[in-house]
A and B are shown apart, each in its own frame.
Chain A
């Protein structure tokens, strides 16, 4: 029985979710009170263009046809035209993807580097110094809005101490790592709160498991037992948490990009909202959702790889 036995079913589910996403995104545009064409064109309004938009969106036709038109264009990579940038929305969006993706991955990795040792250590020495102090630290950082934390970090590390740049993306891989350190750290700290808590309780629970005693009974050194049995099993519990909360991480990027003036999807989203650039807003929302679906799929795969029980659907 293949480990990934439920993968076909999972893919079907995925496709359904993707369709649902397009549906929601489609309806977003319909939320606009008043005339969509007027809203979209804004200052570029001319009667001809308005009629063109009406036809483009199929506003005279029944809702199913509109959706059909929308989906048809979607498959051709056509997300509409940005009248603000005077380019197809897809082009505009594509130009802004790189910084966001880099930031997301960077934050996820930093979060792991921060939270794994702390969470594991806190669980191992429950009630100890690390446990108590990290608990206080993370309760505080959880209540901090990501954008405010970013500002504080800028204040501390860019203004008072010129260790890191205030804004920008930098060039080259190392440049990116340097420029994006503070933004990634901001997001990672918020994200780490949940990870640390989860890993800590997973560690405590695993330490009490009987298989840890069996391992010790074999006469293996304690550090080896910790690594092979306690850590490996505790991490499993965290992978799921990681996946679920990664969505919040993405929300964080929107704000952080704003604070650090990064030319990513988040900044694009916000600016296109105030620019009333609806096709771009729609496109970015759709893209974000697709990214999340992809990440969830990735976490599922990682979980299945680490835990042989996953593909078996065992249990109530």
Chain B
């Protein structure tokens, strides 16, 4: 399953462009370089996936785009351009400007639905708040629209549930309500930060289907963030792989699944359990580097199975792979490819 833009491909116009985004956090332990030079583009009606392990910077990227990082500690540079709004960057824009964009153009849903809603106000209240934030509606109109939204996201008996409080909903229902809230003002871009991570597997599927359905119906774009590559590949058109605050690979779903060029991406794919697989799960040894004392050179070097000494001093950048719009941050990608192909040949002839 892919988004509506899947067929249209790169012909769609860019909706959001992020250029060289850096989000540094000033903490008592030092400066955390959470996002260190990330660039990406989301096109109209496209679903972009951001995948990476915890701490790689995917959440901070989204929050920085929305302007939801704590102002006291954040130092951000780079550009965030929302094209319908003009070609100037909205990063570090004044709150009035951001408030106009949030809800009506850019919306976000968070990981844990239990904490993402105010526990002492009814769902209805919070939904109405979203419905009326950018539109002047009468009480009846607002209420009707709210109930309609709840229905659309699959919550049964919506009129009655308007009066209920978050603690009276299950996790899955709450996430649906959150989606309703996010879509209340018909945004053109939805950022979904690990929307299914805290839900059980069956509900996960339902929520993902719902998101995809809504995306196709409304033609909005979506950025889906997850550490689960399986989820990403199911729903997205294009994928961005992040590691230690940087983008290490970027391309269409097909490219990433069939021809991953960065060792990290390959390792992630390898780590996915296959049906019928036996024996040990393949995990990636080691752990991500500190974001405070960032090492020189390639940040994946300590864990990479193809590492050479030069990798540690290489001033990394994204390199074209040969496929259209597919780049990877590894200067050995072509050598690795040849080496792998040779190895497979050997195995093939060995088992013949």
- The listed residue (A214, A228, A307) touching B181 by CB distance below 8 A is A214
Known: A209-B115, A218-B103. A228 touches B120 (CB 8 A): no
Contact A211–B185 (Cβ < 8 Å): no
A288 to B118, CA, bound (A): 38
Interface string of A184-217 (1 = CB under 8 A from B): 0000000000000000000000000111011111
Contact B117–A218 (Cβ < 8 Å): no
Does A251 count as interface, using CB distance less than 8 angstroms? no
- The listed residue (A214, A228, A232) touching B116 by CB distance below 8 A is A214
Among the stretches A25-33, A61-69, A85-93, A219-227, the one at the interface with B is: A219-227
Known: A211-B116, A214-B117. A219 touches B185 (CB 8 A): yes
Contacts of B115 in A (CB 8 A): 209-211
Does A309 count as interface, using CB distance less than 8 angstroms? yes
Minimum C-beta distance from B160 to chain A (A)? 14
Minimum C-beta distance from A204 to chain B (A)? 11
Contact A217–B120 (Cβ < 8 Å): no
Does A236 count as interface, using CB distance less than 8 angstroms? yes
Contacts of B102 in A (CB 8 A): 216-219
24 examples of A-B residue contacts, CB within 8 angstroms = A210-B110, A210-B112, A211-B117, A211-B118, A213-B68, A214-B116, A214-B118, A214-B126, A216-B102, A218-B103, A218-B129, A218-B130, A218-B184, A219-B99, A219-B134, A220-B129, A221-B95, A222-B99, A233-B120, A306-B120, A308-B120, A308-B165, A312-B167, A314-B167
Does B107 count as interface, using CB distance less than 8 angstroms? yes
- Closest residue to B101 on the A side, CB-wise? A219
Interface pairs A-B: 3 shortest CB-CB:
A219-B103, A219-B102, A211-B118
Known: A232-B120, A308-B120, A312-B167. A220 touches B133 (CB 8 A): yes
On B, residues with C-beta under 8 Å from A are 63, 66, 68, 95, 99-104, 107-108, 110, 112, 115-122, 126, 129-130, 133-134, 165, 167, 178, 181-182, 184-185
Minimum C-beta distance from B323 to chain A (A)? 35
- Closest residue to A307 on the B side, CB-wise? B120
On A, residues with C-beta under 8 Å from B are 209-211, 213-222, 228-229, 232-233, 236, 306-309, 312, 314
Q: Which of A209, A216, A219, A233 has the most CB of B within 10 A?
A: A219
Contacts of A209 in B (CB 8 A): 115
A220 to B102, CA, bound (A): 8
- Closest residue to A220 on the B side, CB-wise? B133
- The listed residue (A210, A219, A306) touching B100 by CB distance below 8 A is A219
- Closest residue to A221 on the B side, CB-wise? B99
Known: A218-B130, A220-B129, A221-B99. A309 touches B167 (CB 8 A): yes
Minimum C-beta distance from A124 to chain B (A)? 11
Contacts of A229 in B (CB 8 A): 118, 121
Contact A236–B120 (Cβ < 8 Å): yes
Contact A216–B116 (Cβ < 8 Å): no
Contact A214–B184 (Cβ < 8 Å): no
Contact A228–B110 (Cβ < 8 Å): no
Q: Which of A209, A213, A217, A221 has the most CB of B within 10 A?
A: A217
Minimum C-beta distance from B124 to chain A (A)? 13
- Closest residue to B63 on the A side, CB-wise? A213
